[in-house]
Structures are given as structure tokens and as C-alpha cells.
A and B are shown apart, each in its own frame.
Chain A
């Protein structure tokens, strides 16, 4: 019987654990990067040091690319059956990653920036790259940040998670329960990555950074807000008048890619037009609801935030 199984040949993947698939997503991108000479740092998920947060689940692959090589990698991924389903501009409010999907390997987030790190995307990548280590994912050697750098990155991610229980669990394991030495190593990475603003969410000192153009981005991400709040924050954080205008223009355009995912099929021209008019109305409705809720809150009534904090951790 056992030999008969073998003679039937290898079985195509019918039921493969999601975490195995995601491991192959990392491996696939690493294969592509190796062929085209690109540098990658695999973060979170399958790449995370398992001692940081034992048993932490994941549902996509997160990979940070050397910023100058992102365009080339996107082109190569699409040549190898990876479908682009969300571009940088229409991803999170930090506009940091593009999402791709593969029929066998699932979802991949290709990061051009790791939110909260700097002072420039290129310098942040170089800083992480200079202290990289290697782990095997899906049978391929993949570069990952040092353990303490991984801890700092995970906390920056949790800082955008608001009330997400997974983010709270990450903070509990990586920061709250950490000893003085581990904390000092994490803080050293926060300094090296110029990540004090984002990290201030973890230490409860965000409001000390009100003058920072990106303050509102972190406030909305960590505490929640309406879509209008989010777009205002994006415009405020954008550098230069032209960039601010471009961000503002995007806020009223329809993200056809996202709409396609939400609807589960290609969207028609009529649906795009309908969404175009629906979005400002929705934003206004949320704003009105929020104000009403705030007024009720002042009066002692309980209210729910209309939009939960943004998180890209699917």
C-alpha cells in the first residue's frame, strides 16, 4: 500500500498548512532576488525568531527590499505568476508595501519602507542589512534582522495595531516581559533606526511628538480614527507641496485593486463610478458619526470608534 502511494507520483498541493505556503512565498521571492542580484530582509511571520513570541501565527510573508531595487523585484515577481493586488499608494496609510498573491504560495507583502524606521528608507535598510543574520525558510537561505532588531521592528508594527489582541500580545512578550538587557538592546535599535516617534506609542509618550509631521499618522494608527482623519494625517505627513497634493488627490480616487479584492471579482466601470461617489459620502458619514459619538462620550455615554486602527497583519 505504501509503495502504491509512491507509484502514483507526488500529489499536487491539495491541503497545505497556510504557514507552509507562506514559507514558500519567502523562498520564491528569495529565489527571484538571488537571480537578479537584489537584497532582501525577511521580517515577521515565518522569518521571526521563534523565541521572541512563541507560537505567533501569521498569514502572509513580509519582506523588506532594498528601496532602489523594489521596482525591479515587482516586475520580476509579476513575470513569475505573482499577481499584484494592491500597490504601495493604496496600501496602508504609511504607503509602505505592495501586496501580491500566488495561487500556491498565498500572500506576500513587499515592503519598500518599514513604517517608523529612517532617517531614509535607504539608510534604514542599510542599518538592518549591516547586522543581518541568515535563516532557512522554505529551503532557501534568507537574510533576517538580528534578534534585537526583530524585536524593535515587531514593536513598531504593534504600535500601529491599536487594540488588536495580537499586537498587545507582541508588546507583552517583547517589551513588557523583557529584562533590562533586552530592553536596552531594543532601545539601541530604536535609536539606530531613528524610530523614536513610532516607538513612543509603546512607551506611551506619543503626545510628546505632536510637532512631528508624522505624529497624526501614528495617532490614528494606534488609537483609531475616521478615514478622513487618516487622509488628513497622510497629507500632513507627506513631504513637499506636490507630494501633499498627490496624496490628497488619491484620497478621492477609487482604489480599483482594493475594490476587486473586496468584491472577489473584476469590478465594472459602473461599480468604480459608484464607489467614487460613495467614498466621500462614507468619509463624511464617519466624521459625523464620530463627532456625535464624541459628544455622547462627553455626556457620559459609551460609544464605539467607527473605524478600527489600521493594521496590515492579515
Chain B
């Protein structure tokens, strides 16, 4: 079982176990990005199994309804994908939890 997304093939990732902060860099030259708070939650849930329902898990974690956050989350994931830091596990472009690949 896999998550909806996984780090890109040229991404380096380090997660701080205490704070949950995600450090992600495009290798070999950077830049090095810091994902904190909601951004770290989105990364964690988007890459965690199961793929189905990952968006609702983000909604629950940040305390907002899924439909309220969906557009913002989609923009954020699109940014990470444009930087090739995050790629869909089976090439599916959907970021919505219900449609994400299993």
C-alpha cells in the first residue's frame, strides 16, 4: 500500500521527528525548502498510505472542512509538483483523497 504521492526521483527529504518539519531539496543543487505547520501536514499525508482519503486526513489535522481547504491544498501540491519534489504514485493527477490512487 502506498501514498497518493511520493518524493520526486531527484528530491532529497529529511523529516524532523520532533517538530514534524519537512526539509526537502531538489538534488543535486537545491534549493532547500522548509515545510512547517499545514505545509508539513500536507506533505506527510500526501505521501502516507493509504492514498484514499489523504485530503480528509489533512482537513481533520488542520480543523477545517475538506471543501474549504481543497483548492489551497491543490495549489500547494501543484507547486511542489512543478518543482518536481512530489510526484503522483501512479501518474494520477488527482489530489482529492477520494480520487487518489490506491
Counting chain B residues whose Cβ lies within 8 A of the other chain, the interface size class is 35 or more
Q: Which residue of A lies closest to B39 (CB)?
A: A6
Given contact pairs A21-B32, A81-B29, A3 touches B23 in the complex (Cβ within 8 A): no
Q: Are A11 and B14 touching (Cβ within 8 A)?
A: no
Q: Are A24 and B32 touching (Cβ within 8 A)?
A: yes
Q: Are A7 and B72 touching (Cβ within 8 A)?
A: yes
Q: Are B27 and A31 touching (Cβ within 8 A)?
A: yes
Asked if A105 is an interface residue, CB under 8 A from chain B, the answer is: yes
Counting chain A residues whose Cβ lies within 8 A of the other chain, the interface size class is 20 to 34
Mostly helix, strand, loop or mixed at chain B's interface? mixed
Q: Which of B12, B34, B38, B42 counts the most chain A CB atoms within 10 A?
A: B12
Query: Which of B12, B32, B64, B79 is in CB contact (< 8 Å) with A3?
Result: B64
Q: How far is the CA of A305 from the CA of B47 in the complex (A)?
A: 56
Tell me which residues across on chain B come within 8 A of A21, comparing CB atoms: 32
Q: Which residue of A lies closest to B71 (CB)?
A: A7
Asked if B31 is an interface residue, CB under 8 A from chain A, the answer is: yes
Q: Are A16 and B23 touching (Cβ within 8 A)?
A: yes
Query: Which of B12, B24, B36, B73 is in CB contact (< 8 Å) with A28?
Result: B12
Q: Are B34 and A24 touching (Cβ within 8 A)?
A: no
Q: Are A14 and B34 touching (Cβ within 8 A)?
A: yes
Asked if B88 is an interface residue, CB under 8 A from chain A, the answer is: no
Q: How far is the CA of A31 from the CA of B85 in the complex (A)?
A: 14
Asked if A180 is an interface residue, CB under 8 A from chain B, the answer is: no
Q: Are A13 and B23 touching (Cβ within 8 A)?
A: yes
Tell me which residues across on chain B come within 8 A of A15, comparing CB atoms: 34
- Taking Cβ atoms with an 8 Å cutoff, the residues of A that contact B are 2-7, 9-17, 20-21, 23-24, 27-29, 31-32, 80-81, 102-105, 138-140
| Besides A6-B38, A28-B25, 5 new A-B residue pairs in contact (Cβ under 8 A), listed by A number | A11-B34, A11-B35, A81-B30, A104-B29, A138-B14
